[in-house]
Structures are given as C-alpha cells and as structure tokens.
Structure 1
Amino acid sequence: MKELIGYRGIIEKPYEEVVRYMSAMPTGRIKASQIPLLLTSAAGADGILQVKGGPQLFTVYTGEEGVEIRIAYLDIDAANGHFSVFGGWWYRNDYELKPHAKGCEVRYSVANAASPLSRWLVPLLKDYRGLRNEKRTGRMMRAFDDWVSLLAVRLQCKAYRTE
C-alpha cells in the first residue's frame, strides 16, 4: 500500500480511554456523526447511515433499507490500537493509536490499497487527484483537525494535530 497523506495528533486522555471510545461502534441506523472514526462525505443528504456487523468488522451503508449502497468497511482491532476504514476499491484510512507522555498519539493515514492489477487506474480518479492536491487545498488536513476537535469535546480533553 502506498501512503498518500498522513497526520499525527495528540489526545490528552489515557490511551486505554481513547481506544475504548474508538471501539464503541454503534450499529443500526445512526447519524454519521455518531461513528467515532473520520468518514468524509460518507452520509447522504440526511446524514443517516446504516452500520451492520461487529464486534470487529462492520459494514457501513447509505440510503434506504433495501436500496442501500455500501460505502465502507470498518475493521476495529482494539487490542492493538489499530482501526481501518476501507472504502470503494482503492482507498484505506488507518488509525494507529499509541500511548504518549501526554495521553494518546494518533497516526492517521490515507493509502492506495488497490490490487496490483488495478492500481494503475487510481490516478485517473477525481478523488485521488483531489488527494494529490492536498498540500494546496488542505481539505483532508481540515477534516482531520475537525475530527480531533470533536474528540476533544467528546472526551473532554485537549486534542490537536502535531504534524
């Protein structure tokens, strides 16, 4: 897998508490904001998702029951502090949590996870080209900053991007 974007942040809460929060994946029909992981542009106009599965592997759908569209798979590995979001056929978002002197460090990355046979198609995608322009637009950096700020509110602590 080739990493396209990566950020780090500090969440000033004990590692175990942050892992517990991120592992608490709700299921059923929920608002997109209830998912503890960053899912940019995941929900439809009403912001409602359908989450099925668990306790480690989940599938996230958008749309009405019976005509829903799968938008992501979530892999929760709380024992190792590793959380992944697989979307479509080519991208993967990874969260790696580690204990830190101030609480918990989170490493977030977006990678090209397409198979070797289809990897050549990825640069043709609009979403990929948008990621390649990330340094200019800062869209994913702002999304990561917003997610870290949301963690700060929900966990009642300081949280911020470090790089």
Structure 2
Amino acid sequence: MTPAETPLCEVRGVVEAPVDRVAGLILRVRPGPVGRHNCFPLAEHGGTLTGGPDRFVLAAPGHTMTVEVGPDRLAVQGGWWYRGEYRLAPDPAGTLLVHQVRNVAERLRWGVPLANGFFRRFGPRTREGFAVLLDRVGAELGCPVRLLGGR
C-alpha cells in the first residue's frame, strides 16, 4: 500500500440491519442543509452541501470540505491532510460499517503523524466519535449496533 492508501486509524462496527437500510441513511447525500435526513454522518457539523450527484462541497461553520458518495462509501476530505471514509459491507449480523482516516497531504505529508502525535488522543477520539455515530445510526434505524476493534 502507498502511504495515502494506509489508514492512520480504522474503526469498525456492526449495524444489525440490512445493507440497503444502512446505505439509505449513511449514503443519502443531496444539495441542501446537512442534518438528520441529509449526509447523516456529518449531521452534527451542520453546514450546506452544493454540487452533486456524487461529489459535493460542504460549507460548514469555519471550514469547507469535499464530500464524495458512491454505492458503498461516503468520503469526506478537508484541511491539508484529512480524508475520512465510511464504507459499508454485508455482515452475517447485518452491515459492517468501517471508518478510516487517511493522510492525503500533498505537501508536508511527513508532518501529519507528527502533528497528530501532539494530539495523543487522535485514535481514541476517532473511536469515540465513531461510537457516537454508530449509536445514532442504531437509534435512527431502531436496531442494535456493536462497536468492534480497530487500529
């Protein structure tokens, strides 16, 4: 794997609902305000999406991000290095939801792990944020969810 393909961290969870139900929630992205019914993983960030149908710009308070959506993934990219990807896959219990954070810096790439080293809780914070999202997905779909291991 190239450095851009190697995640800085990865967290996984199971949603006990069929993939199409989870996709209908996670991958529902259209122009307009971000919220419970639009770009669900970013609902707490707020902002407005423009563009589409598979690539959007999110103008949120204090920053701008690119949002890409495909048949089994949602990717959010912003700042000089950050790319977060949510991927869906079938699981015997329903749907496997995977969140990966990648370093996509084109310059000063070496500084990202160093900068994140100063934020010693980057990995645990990512896991905590994903756990909150997973709980929100379970509440929205009315089904159990389970946080799995990650790296």
> TM (normalized to structure 2)?
0.82
CA 1:31 to 1:150, structure 2 compared with 1: closer, same or farther past 3 Å? same
Partner of 2:129: 143
- Give the % identical residues: 25
Q: Which shifted more, 81-90 or 22-31?
A: 22-31
Shift of 1:124: 5.1
Aligned to 1:119: 109
Cross-structure match for 2:59? 61
Q: Distance in 2 between matches of 1:38 and 1:153?
A: 16
* Counterpart pick for 1:35 among 34, 39, 43: 39
2:78 to 80, 87, 104: 87
- Distance change in 2, residues 1:62/1:129 (3 Å): same
Matched with 1:129 is: 117
8 A contact 1:84–1:95 mirrored in 2: yes
The structure with more helix, counted as a fraction of residues: 1
Counterpart residue number, 1:25:
29
Q: State the shift of 1:27 in Å.
A: 2.7
Aligned CA RMSD, in angstroms, stands at 2.4
Q: How big is the shift at 1:120?
A: 2.4
Alpha carbons 2:12, 2:148 under 8 Å: kept: yes
- Kindly state the Cα deviation for residue 28 of structure 1 after the two structures are TM-superposed: 2.0
Counterpart position of 1:71: 64
Q: Report how far residue 59 of structure 1 moved.
A: 0.8
Q: Which runs of 5+ in 2 are unaligned?
A: none
Aligned twin of 1:16: 20
In the alignment, the residues of structure 1 paired with residue 102 and residue 66 of structure 2 have an alpha-carbon distance, to the nearest angstrom, of 15
Residue 84 and residue 141 in structure 1: after superposition, are their counterparts in 2 closer, same or farther (change >3 A)? same
TM-score (norm 1): 0.77
Q: Which residue of 1 aligns with 2:8?
A: 4
